[in-house]
Amino acid sequence: MPKWSALVAVSIGTFMLLVDVTIVTVALPAVSRDLGVTIGGLQWVLDGYALALAAVLLASGSLADRHGRRRVYLGGTVVFAAASLLCAVAPNAGLLVAARFLQGLGGAAMLATTVAILSVAYTGRDRGVAFGVWGAVNGAAAAAGPIAGGLLTEHLGWRWIFIVNLPVSLLAVWFTLRGVTESHGRSGTGNRLDVAGIVTFTLSATAVTFALIRGGDAGWTAPSTLAALAVAAVALAAFVVVERRTEHPMLDLRLFAKPSFSALMAASVLAQASAFASLPFTTVWLQQFMGKGPVDAGLLGALPMSAASFLVGAFGGRFLQRVSPRWSIGAGLLLIGAGALLQARLTPASPATALIPGLVVVGLGVAAVLPTMASAALAAVPPERSGMAGGAVNTFRQLGFALGVAVFGSIFAHRLAGHHAPTDAVNHVVAVAGFTGLAAAVLVLLVVRTGRPARPAPRPAPEPAVSEAV
């Protein structure tokens, strides 16, 4: 069995997941034109994936521990590939959103098992090399996604952004079968699947997202909006009851008794929304109102942030790990907020390049926040809950992206419906994103008291910025 087959298998799958996120963002205007999708529909194309990922990410880890990481990773890859094919042939927005939700389920199974697979496959220096290569692949995917998405959309059509997942999935499956050995978590019932928790969490998150999107279209007092909010509240209450009573909860709510952990989870939601949820709407502005093609939109709308974050992570990551998370996360969030506000200065005469300085500043902040957030959460909980804490960070990040897209989409659509200039609509979106980042910074600086975490053995390489938007 070749030594690095497991690393190749995991890296190919991760690369596919990350490229898929940025490709979809760049292709949204083309999807809208081809399928006649409204802004609300475009929000669901993004949120269907993010909600599914958030809903089952924690549970996927338990499922993999119980039934085998290799088996779950393979199953997730197959589901992701099948969903990609459905996305590629979708004749309408409804099927496309459903297929994106299915993609999220497959992606969650893959994402939840990658670290465990690498940890089992490698030891000592090889393990450090494996995680370093894996992190570099993540960064390359984040940078390549906008360009690849633009090229495919502009020259072949948006459906090809999903078709390319099929041969990549086959490669991932082949290397997994060839080089990944099966492994399990601790035996017993501790890794039992919390089905009730998954259902109530998914229902609550989906209902509140629907309410946010619907409120922007039909009004906040519309019966459908109020009904969705009521369903969200009831489902959330049921989730709390279920998690407090079950013997093996998907998310142990007692962790939120620690102020630092609660603040970090809230900051995860706000950081993801502030940094990434406005990107789809700046991309729409670049293509539909500035006349840029998908390639130019990818280069101007996502690459500056990805490149800045990747460079800081590569050359300053070691320094950031020596700083208290309170200060590195707090300062990073200040940069994210400031970078978003820097973009909120567009005028009808502004060139498309006007977004670049703000995107670079956001990228600098993201490089400080995202790699540190997980380690800070681990330091805030008992060691036996470290896996749950790490999964919770990723879950709340995806939830923040989904809610952010819903809120910003409502703002964007409302400004356009009020006959405001497109630049005004974008300015409002990125301004709200900026104040969201600043609020998260204040929260972290005031509440988080976690010191530098002890060095795990081993710890994965920091994940680059745009990868967290998956």
How do residues 412-463 score in pLDDT, each as one tens digit? 988 888 778 889 999 999 999 999 999 999 999 999 886 554 444 444 443 4
Tokens 């490709």, located at residue:
23
DSSP per residue over 297-318, as a string?
HHHHHTHHHHHHHHHHHHHHHH
What's the N-to-C CA distance of the chain in angstroms? 31
pLDDT at 379: 81
Of the listed ranges 25-34, 61-70, 317-326, the one predicted with least confidence:
317-326
Q: Alpha-carbon torsion 217, 280, 104, 398, what sign?
A: negative
Query: Taking 70 as the threshold, does the pLDDT of residue 162 lie above it?
Result: yes
Closest CA to 408 of 288, 314, 284, 246: 284
pLDDT at 453: 46
Of the listed ranges 12-26, 58-72, 139-153, 216-230, the one predicted with least confidence:
139-153
Under the banding of pLDDT at 50, 70 and 90, the label for residue 321 is low
Average pLDDT over residues 178-192: 69
What is the Cα–Cα distance from 415 to 132, expressed in whole angstroms? Answer: 44
Angle at 147 between CA 146 and CA 152, to 5 degrees: 100
Average pLDDT over residues 362-375: 84
pLDDT at 136: 66
pLDDT at 117: 86
> Bigger pLDDT: 335 or 320?
335
Average pLDDT over residues 222-246: 93
φ/ψ of residue 247, rounded to 5: -75, -30
Tell me the Cα Rg of the chain: 21
What is the Cα–Cα distance from 105 to 388, expressed in whole angstroms? Answer: 18
